[in-house]
């Protein structure tokens, strides 16, 4: 039964959105940095060709379809954070001067982008690579919590929630805050 929130029809266009996205990004980069020249016609033809090259790989289309909603959520989160600062009285000048002076914000944005891209690669290619690792015909009977199974999601979950990995995350968190607090007095 069709509902108002049914997006099944949009699944037919899952190839079109990545092509348009790649075209727009490529055209914007070519127009901004002008590596080939200032001709809008040449830049648009190159952008169209790069957009159509995306159609050659289903994996690239799937990765773009996975990552775009996550980047959209991240952008909305950052915009809402800016609105919260504005509501509590921060001026635009103070927000932008702080963002330009603090390098940590840029590193956080880069880290979030890398995590989203790695998650997209893992979602699209992870199971295929896991199955390719077991092509020698040897079946491994994996116990609970083992990362030697043919299920990629189970292997990731077993790795991330391993007590040694969780302990390492806690130690790194303590180390990061220790360094941040000890070097904060130098400013």
79 token code pair: 């915009």
Mean pLDDT of 31-41: 94
Residues 45 and 83 in one domain: no
Contact 146, 125 (CB under 8 A): no
Higher-confidence residue of 116 and 105: namely 116
User: What CA–CA distance (Å, rounded) separates 118 from 121?
Assistant: 5
Q: Which domain holds residue 157?
A: 145-187
Residues 117 and 81 in one domain: yes
Mean pLDDT of 158-179: 93
Higher-confidence residue of 185 and 95: namely 95
State residue 141's pLDDT score. 61
Residues 175 and 150 in one domain: yes
Higher-confidence residue of 78 and 146: namely 78
Contact 65, 14 (CB under 8 A): yes
33-42, 47-56, 64-73, 141-150, range with the lowest pLDDT: 141-150
State residue 9's pLDDT score. 72
Does a structural domain hold residue 6? no
């Amino acid at each position: 039964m069709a509902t108002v929130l049914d997006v099944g029809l949009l699944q037919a266009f899952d190839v079109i959105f990545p092509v348009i996205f790649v075209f727009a990004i490529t055209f914007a980069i070519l127009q901004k940095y002008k590596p080939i020249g200032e001709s809008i016609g040449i830049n648009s033809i190159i952008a169209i060709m790069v957009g159509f090259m995306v159609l050659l790989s289903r994996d690239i289309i799937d990765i773009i379809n996975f990552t775009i909603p996550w980047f959209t959520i991240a952008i909305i989160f950052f915009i809402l954070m800016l609105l919260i600062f504005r509501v509590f009285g921060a001026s635009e000048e103070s927000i932008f001067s702080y963002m330009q002076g603090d390098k940590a914000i840029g590193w956080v944005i880069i880290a979030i982008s890398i995590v989203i891209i790695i998650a997209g690669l893992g979602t699209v290619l992870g199971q295929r690579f896991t199955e390719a690792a077991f092509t020698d015909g040897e079946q491994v009977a994996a116990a609970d919590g083992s990362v030697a199974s043919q299920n990629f999601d189970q292997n990731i979950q077993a790795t991330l929630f391993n007590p040694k990995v969780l302990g390492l995350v806690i130690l790194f968190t303590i180390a990061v805050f220790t360094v941040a607090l000890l070097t904060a007095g130098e400013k």
